[in-house]
Structure 1
Amino acid sequence: MKELVNNLKGDRVIWSFVALLALFSFMPVFSASSNLAYLGHGTGNTISYLLKHLAHIFIGFIIIYWVHKVPFHYYRGISKIALPIVWLLLGYTMIKGTVIAGANASRWIQIPFIGISFQTSTFAAIVLFVFTARYLAKKREEKISFKDSLIELWLPIFITLGFILPSNFSTAALIFSMILMLTFVGKYPIKYLGFIIGAGFTALLLFVLLAKAFPDSHLFSRVNTWESRIENFRTNKPGEDDYQIEKAKIAIASGGIYGLGPGKSVQKHFLPQSSSDFIYAIIVEEWGLMGGLGILFLYLLLFFRFVIAAHKANSLFGKLLVVGLGFPMIFQAMINMAVAVELLPVTGQTLPLISSGGSSIWMTCIALGIIINVTKKEEEIAQEISDKAKREAALQKLIDKQLEEENEAENEAEENYSIQDNAGNPMNAVLNK
């Protein structure tokens, strides 16, 4: 065990926060999965869901370990190669996407022969963030041309978002906003960002108008859901998602300050997606306001650690990787919590490292592995500098010791010569007396 811990390089604080979130996730997932366990005339036994979540977390940590071993500058080229693969996966998802756990959006594909569901938009987000960081780092010494950036940067981004938007508006909006944040941090000209934001809103408006013109098309089937969610949130009218919000609010109100106790949630039996999208409501019900604030505080600590890691990175590409992969993770957590307390309309965003679900956990772990790899590089550089300083100090100490020995030898030789000279010359002996 000690040897395994010693092999974990990079920022140990980030490792610790990730481990704490993962360990805490077992209790709420075990408790909140009872709703799923009763579906389809089930027995209500949630042990299988706990073991499944354990397998997802275990595989996730293996992913972090192996990804953090790969030098982060390799991801420059990987992002360009992976982008066409992402388009193929997203296109296949639009055609063959499946429905998972009652969710009414085709966002997943089944991996053949394994039976594992995979949400392709989460993988697309990671590739886009790395791709954007690569472009900004490459152009740091050059004057960015708006025309060239449209082809090299924004066209691939809009193509990817165009595949995601029809089935998952919240994820597309989150990715687009995080890319805008990343380009701002990467010093992309602000005057050009205004045109990009305008183009994004225009594309969204055109998509909605096409949905109105072709209401029976499968491609635009989610537009009515978006409109109803926004309308229900704005006017507080009962709607399809009102039941979930009401149950989440009841769960939060029932929790009080200290909660009902681990595993004692009542609303987990009635709240759909209680182990994924609305797991924060179950956490507050069982652990109370103190537990809810504790989780929020832990995510904020992780955010500040990402800020420190970005500040310490010695390359622009490393800084942008930490910002582009770390900040969306925290922002997604804030969105999930805000939905549970009805600060935002229902979005379907999970709570990173806590909500159940294989693909969301694994994609989060890939992002964490890359971030830790950036901090690992800085750790190695710092260790090399420290080792070099130690070697130089040891060498200087050895040189000083040799000089001291040589001086002592010279002084001893002069003393011996003086004694011999006095012994051989009587006059010197008389003068010395």
Structure 2
Amino acid sequence: MIGERRGELRLILWAWGVVMWGLACYWLAEPQFSRQVLALYAIGYLLIGLLGHLLLIGNAPRADQVVFPLVYMLTGLGLMSVLRLRPELALRQFLWVFIGVAWMGIAAGYPHWHRLVYWKYSSAVVGLLLLLLTTLLGYEAGGARRWLALGGFRFEPVELVRVLLVIFLAGYLSQARKLLQGTKGKFLGLSLPEPRYVGPLVTMWILFMFVLVAQRDLGAAFLFYGIFQAMLLVATGNMAYLVVGACMAAVGAGLAYRLFSHVQVRFQAWWNPWVRLESGGYQIAQSLFSLGAGGIFGRGWGRGAAASTVPAVHTDFVFSSLAEELGLLGSGAVLFLYLFLVMRTVRAALLANDEFLQLLTIGIGSLFAIQAIVIIGGVIKMIPMTGITMPFISYGGSSLISSYLLVGAILGISHGG
């Protein structure tokens, strides 16, 4: 079985070598940084790769051999970013990566992913209950009530809810696909579906959006909206869903702007950060300066100024730091890694022998793609900042562990075919 995954091992070692080159550049830029810490980082990162590789050999030897190395490379960039930008948080991020990789290996070995179709409504109900619990008992950070605390441990339930949402959508759409493709009539050239078949989806969409807006977690609301739209479009091919959904989103965005000062501040800071440096525009302005300073080839790893000028550089604005230090070419390579990950996800979906598994895999790929697009769009000022994380790169345990769980699902599905 080891021989079956030699290609994956070679890619893991190549990714490790690239990250070690980055560490060497960092040490040359900051020679006072502890060599012992860098050595431990190098060893720990290698062990993470070998752990994931061995788990997949044992649990999913026929799984896609490119997905984990891609995620491993993105994770390495994230770990280097945290070590560079917030050294005091690096050990905690390492621990979360180890936990995430372990969960990935366990999930990849689960042989009954197709049975989750029977838990679609349970997944939706549990997801809603988690969001309601956060609304009632959670505490606010960054203008949104998105955190729960258990003792000294805190986490974001919405990261688990996104997994449950994808399961619900994949389950419902796989069973009602043909019914949703039917038409009740036409309006402005668009085929309209039967209301009784689309009703459960619309009801669930409204409930999720209502609770998230009540939490003022508009980043998660935007992400969930994107997942709904992407999976509906893939499952039915009906553009009416896209048009109606876009109209509903526009109305919802307008109401959110009217009702919440937090949304107004973010929108105004995005629209013209230069005149609102004291009330939300500072981070966006500094992010744009960092992007411009990187040029084509970048300043070099460890030589950027974003660590001291952008307050949330290790979370919301981690891409601006990467672009400053790696330049247009390096940040473009990061985008290519995400693109290739989504492509391998689509490949796994096409090879799956079950309609539910196909939609589940497409949903996971859509989630990663939307997250990356939204966070990068916010950093380069294409859209307002939303507060969601950049998959595998941004600091944060809840997002990292749930993302690795989703990767485990992709690998498990590709293993089982």
TM-score, structure 1 normalization? 0.74
- Amino acid paired to 2:355: L
Does residue 1:169 correspond to 2:222, yes or no?
no
Give 1:7's match in structure 2, choosing from 42, 58, 68: 58
Between 1:142-151 and 1:66-75, the stretch displaced more is 142-151
The aligned runs of 1:202-241 (5 Å cut-off) are: 202=251, 211=259, 223-236=260-273, 238-239=275-276, 240-241=279-280
The aligned runs of 1:66-105 (5 Å cut-off) are: 66-70=106-110, 71-100=112-141, 103-105=142-144
- Amino acid paired to 2:196: D
- Amino acid paired to 1:122: E
Q: CA deviation at 1:257?
A: 3.1
Determine which structure has more spread, i.e. the larger CA radius of gyration: 1
- Equivalent-residue separation in structure 1 for 2:269 and 2:251 (angstroms): 24
Q: CA deviation at 1:188?
A: 6.6
Q: CA deviation at 1:366?
A: 2.0
Q: Check the 8 A contact 1:13/1:305 in 2, yes or no.
A: yes
Distance 1:205 1:280, change over 3 A: closer
Q: CA deviation at 1:288?
A: 2.4
Q: CA deviation at 1:193?
A: 5.7
Q: CA deviation at 1:191?
A: 4.2
Q: CA deviation at 1:151?
A: 4.0
Flag structure 2 segments of 5+ consecutive residues without an equivalent.
1-49, 183-192
Aligned residues: 349
- Equivalent-residue separation in structure 2 for 1:68 and 1:56 (angstroms): 18
- Equivalent-residue separation in structure 2 for 1:87 and 1:282 (angstroms): 35
User: Percent of aligned positions with the same letter in both sequences?
Assistant: 24
Q: Check the 8 A contact 1:326/1:368 in 2, yes or no.
A: no
TM-score, structure 2 normalization? 0.77
Q: Check the 8 A contact 1:69/1:373 in 2, yes or no.
A: yes
The equivalent residue for 1:136 is 173
- Equivalent-residue separation in structure 1 for 2:322 and 2:250 (angstroms): 36
Distance 1:122 1:142, change over 3 A: same
Distance 1:104 1:142, change over 3 A: closer
- Equivalent-residue separation in structure 2 for 1:270 and 1:204 (angstroms): 30
The equivalent residue for 1:109 is 148
The equivalent residue for 1:400 is none
- Amino acid paired to 1:7: G
Q: RMSD in angstroms over aligned alpha carbons?
A: 2.4
Q: Check the 8 A contact 2:270/2:284 in 1, yes or no.
A: no
The equivalent residue for 1:343 is 382
Q: CA deviation at 1:157?
A: 2.5
Give 1:367's match in structure 2, choosing from 406, 410, 417: 406
- Deviations 1:181-226 (CA, angstroms, capped at 9, x unpaired): 21111117544665555455555556666x3xxxxxxxxxxx2222
Q: Check the 8 A contact 2:315/2:389 in 1, yes or no.
A: yes
Between 1:143-152 and 1:63-72, the stretch displaced more is 143-152
- Deviations 1:347-380 (CA, angstroms, capped at 9, x unpaired): 21211001110111112122222222221111xx
Flag structure 1 segments of 5+ consecutive residues without an equivalent.
34-45, 212-222, 379-433
The equivalent residue for 2:157 is 120
- Equivalent-residue separation in structure 2 for 1:128 and 1:24 (angstroms): 28
Runs of 4+, deviation exceeding 6 Å: none
- Amino acid paired to 1:172: A
- Equivalent-residue separation in structure 2 for 1:347 and 1:20 (angstroms): 25
The equivalent residue for 2:361 is 322
3-state SS in 2 of match to 1:241: helix
- Deviations 1:236-285 (CA, angstroms, capped at 9, x unpaired): 55222210011112222222333333233322122111101101111122
